[in-house]
Amino acid sequence: MARYGRQSDLAILTNIQLLKKPLHSFNIKKTLCYNHSMYKSFYGLNENAFNITSDPAFYFESDHHKEAYAHLLYGIKHRKGILCMTGDVGTGKTTLCRILLNQIDPSIKTAFILNPNFSQIQLLQLITKDLGVIAKRNNKLDLINTLNDFLIAETSKGNNVAVIIDEAQNLLVKQLEQIRLLSNLETEKFKLLQIILVGQPELLQNLKKPSLRQLDSRIAVRYHIQPLTKEDVRHYIAHRLKVAGASSKLQFTTEAADAVFHFSKGTPRVINILCEHALLAGFVNETFTISEDIVKSAAKEALNN
């Protein structure tokens, strides 16, 4: 986050006056570096309302996200083995995973692998480490045997174990085959390990490869997260502003929210980028009403639209 240094109040006010010009000529990028904290204060925000990080505190539960959560929880609780959740870039997959991890029953032990771009043996090491499993040796056989013993012990206690692998579209064929082999850890009645593959649509394309047809056929639960609807976007913007503690005077007009939907296509990450720029433009123009024109100007700056 950019800071101001020791700029005087007079200098700050002078800068604002210089920046107050027609929206079509307003360059957000030139002012973002030293007006970020100022616009938060102006709008009464406790924190940035539109960060692009995966913050569960700002989680917005659309119908699609609610369904995705229900699918994942069902697959884990009923020990379905391999689950798959996909969605385009920035649709909230990682945030949903964090919500699941925060809310899931303590009897379900979990591991969350954020970056699976490792070798087969390193992937096994990450999974066992995150589950708190310590193997005597770090070779593949010992890791799998130790993991199997851990799963059997947890099952005997009435517990379950789930591993979430994010960015799974980056997994190589050998790694995906390793995951299929891990799904073989089972009793006569159910799977000992639930594996959730989370990724972009390219994951689905990878799973259709002939060499992965066995893995694809074992996926028992699938869900693809759709972008937010126009109505969702209106509620999404209001929700994030409320969580961030925005002043009640601050509002996006209906037309502005619909413009956000138009430019973002309902993708949360793009919505955040666009709304961040729109708030900065509103601040520079000293208005608590974010209009359609402000959003259009912000889209031109932020998205080159």
- CA dihedral for 101, 235, 71, 176, sign (positive or negative): negative
What pLDDT does residue 304 have?
Answer: 80
How many Å is the Cα radius of gyration of the chain?
23
What pLDDT does residue 36 have?
Answer: 63
Q: What is the mean pLDDT of residues 47-72?
A: 95
What pLDDT does residue 35 have?
Answer: 53
Please tell me which residue, 40 or 78, carries the higher pLDDT value. Answer: 78
Planar angle of CA 31, 34, 36, nearest 5 degrees: 90
Domain ranges of the chain: 27-54+229-303, 63-225
Helix (H, G, I), strand (E, B) or coil at 80: coil
- Give the global pTM: 0.86
What pLDDT does residue 5 have?
Answer: 37
What pLDDT does residue 8 have?
Answer: 38
Please tell me which residue, 154 or 24, carries the higher pLDDT value. Answer: 154
Give the CATH number of domain 27-54+229-303; options: 1.10.10, 2.60.120, 1.10.8, 3.40.50: 1.10.8
Q: Give residue-wise pLDDT tens across range 249-284.
A: 999 999 999 999 999 999 999 999 999 999 999 998
Q: Give residue-wise pLDDT tens across range 91-145.
A: 999 999 999 999 999 999 999 999 777 888 888 999 999 999 998 888 999 999 9
Helix (H, G, I), strand (E, B) or coil at 152: helix
Please tell me which residue, 97 or 1, carries the higher pLDDT value. Answer: 97
CA distance 26 to 302: 12
One-letter amino acid for residue 156 of the chain: S
Please tell me which residue, 159 or 15, carries the higher pLDDT value. Answer: 159
- Quickly list H helices, the chain: 9-19, 28-42, 63-77, 93-103, 120-130, 140-156, 173-182, 202-207, 213-218, 230-243, 254-264, 268-284, 292-303
Residue 13 pLDDT level (bands cut at 50, 70, 90): very low
What pLDDT does residue 182 have?
Answer: 94
Residues with Cβ within 8 Å of 167's Cβ and at least 6 positions away in sequence, in order, are 114, 115, 116, 117, 198, 199, 200
Please tell me which residue, 61 or 6, carries the higher pLDDT value. Answer: 61
What pLDDT does residue 257 have?
Answer: 98
CA distance 41 to 157: 52
Q: Which helix (H) or strand (E) holds 111?
A: strand 108-113
Facing residues of 186 across strands? 191
CA distance 274 to 269: 9
Q: Give residue-wise pLDDT tens across range 285-294.
A: 999 999 999 9
- Same fold? 27-54+229-303, 63-225: no
Residue 15 pLDDT level (bands cut at 50, 70, 90): very low
Give the CATH number of domain 63-225; options: 3.40.640.10, 3.40.50.2300, 3.40.50.300, 3.40.50.1980: 3.40.50.300
What pLDDT does residue 116 have?
Answer: 77
What pLDDT does residue 12 have?
Answer: 37
**How confident is the prediction for the chain on average, in pLDDT?**
88
Q: Which two tokens stand for residue 181?
A: 């082999």
CA distance 123 to 142: 14
Q: What share of the chain is helix, strand, coil (3-state, %, to 5)?
A: 55, 10, 35
Burial of 89: CB neighbours in 10 Å, binned 0-12, 13-18, 19+: exposed
